[in-house]
Structures are given as structure tokens and as C-alpha cells.
Amino acid sequence: MNYFDAVILGIVEGLTEFLPVSSTGHLTIAEKALGLPIDDKAITAYTAVIQVGAIAAVLVYFFKDIVAIATGWVGGIVNPAKRGTLDHRMGWYIIAGSLPIAVVGLAAKPLIEGPLRSLWVVGAALILWSAVMWFAERGATQERGEKKVTLKDALVIGAMQCVALIPGVSRSGATISAGLFRGLDRVTATRLSFFLGIPALVAAGALELLDPKIRELAAGPMIVGTLVAFVVAYASVAWLLKFVAGHTIVSFVPYRLVLGVGLLALLAGGVMSAT
């Protein structure tokens, strides 16, 4: 992998990590277009590592919120009188909501790095999950804001992160859809999606850094890709929060469908191989 590859993949990661279009799917397509072996574990590890740049952007963007939640959570443990505060509850919600992906992610790691790294899977998932996003918006009541988030909401949305392990589904697309199905307003569902993504993506990146395969990649391109992902992701997060305040996530469905159908057509026509 050279610096050009690193910059391109960093841009793709930063643009797509938090938009409901599937960052893993886009990275797989981009890697294939760059001539990189998408079934190589070193490449899989690289994509997980540069996600740390994107998640760092969320940490910076929501720094005050994260500090408030962390302080409230610790304060509630030390002082029982503070256990009913939103920040204390949100701390527990994030921890509980992160447990499903921690268990399933580790158990399904061989599957994620193997059979699921197929462009057939990406194309099909882009199309099929678009229907879920459409139904989520159609049935959305958006009757509850952040102050009314419950533990069950966090567990359901956290569980949806497991579905997003399938390339093409999209973690944000799955979690925001789940929030809408639960009756949360779109901005609250999006913010909760971001908060729940922090432990999951940091853990995934840290785990891949321990993989011996990562040593096959040069440190320079990895650092560049991560920095590019950080800058682009920060802008994407800021834009998405403003966008969902006045638009539905169905706005992303046409793009998903065109990309999915186009990808499957290229594969069926033999223009592109699946792995």
C-alpha cells in the first residue's frame, strides 16, 4: 500500500463511516478499484485501524458531551443521589449497548474477515437494508428525545451494530433505523449511534493493531490514512447532525440502491470479481 492508496482510503473512510451508506462496503469497493487484495487480512486490519481516525473525530466533536457523561457516570457511582441524572444513565446505556457487538464481533471475526469480504455481499446488503431504512422512517413517530432514552433503547440499538458487521448494511444506517423504530427522534437516534460507536470502533482498531498481519503494512501510509480519515470524518459528523435535523435518512436510499445495483451488475457481467 502506498501513500496514494492511504489518502484515498482515508477519504472514503472519513466520508462514509457515519453516513448511512456503509463505510466497510465503500472501503471494500475502493480497495478493489485500487487493485488491493480485499481478502488479505493485512488490508482488513488496515481498514479497521484507520477507523480510529474517524472515531477520534467523534471524540473531539462531542468532547464536552463525553466529559459530561463520564463525569456523571462516575459521580453517580460515588454519590447515590446523582444516579438518576441523564449523564449517569447515559454512561450505563453506552456500556450496556456496547456489550452485544463486543461478544458477536469477536465470535464472528473469522466470518467478517473471510466470506463476508465479498462484493456480492456488499451489493446485496446495500439494496436490502435500504428497505429497512425506508420502513424505519415511514413508521417513525419521533416522540421521544434524549431525556427519554431508556436502557432497552440502548440495548436494541447496540444489538443492531452486530447486523452492521455485514459489509453494505452500514452501522449508522442500522443503529439510526433501530432508534427510529424505537420512537426516538432522528437527532437523538443519530447522537446515540455516535456514542455507541465509540467503544465498538476503538476496540476494533485496537484489536487489529495487535494482529501480526498489520506489520506487513508500512507505518507511514497507515498514519496518513488515519489522519485523513479524522479530518474528513469530523466534517461529515458536523454535516450529518445538521442534515438529519431537517431530512430523513431515506435521502440516502437512492444512492445506496444505485450503487448496489450497479455493483451487482458489474459482478454479474464479469467486469469485476467479488474478491
C-alpha cell at 113: 474477515
Ranges of H-type helices in 17-118: 23-33, 41-61, 63-78, 86-107, 109-113
CB 169 within 8 A of CB 183: no
Cα separation, 224 vs 131, whole angstroms: 36
CB 176 within 8 A of CB 193: yes
Q: Spell out the per-residue pLDDT of the chain, length 275, in tens.
A: 789 999 999 999 999 988 999 888 899 889 888 988 877 777 877 887 888 899 899 999 999 999 999 999 999 999 888 888 999 999 999 999 999 998 898 888 778 777 887 889 999 999 999 999 999 999 889 999 999 999 999 999 999 999 988 989 999 999 999 999 999 999 999 999 999 988 888 887 777 777 776 666 778 888 999 999 999 999 999 999 999 988 999 999 999 999 999 999 999 998 888 77
pLDDT digit string, tens, across residues 112-126: 777 887 889 999 999
Q: Where are the domains of the chain?
A: 3-268
Cα separation, 80 vs 197, whole angstroms: 28
Burial group, residue 266, by CB count within 10 angstroms (0-12, 13-18, 19+): middle
C-alpha cell at 122: 456488499
Which pLDDT score, from 0 to 100, does residue 213 have?
Answer: 67
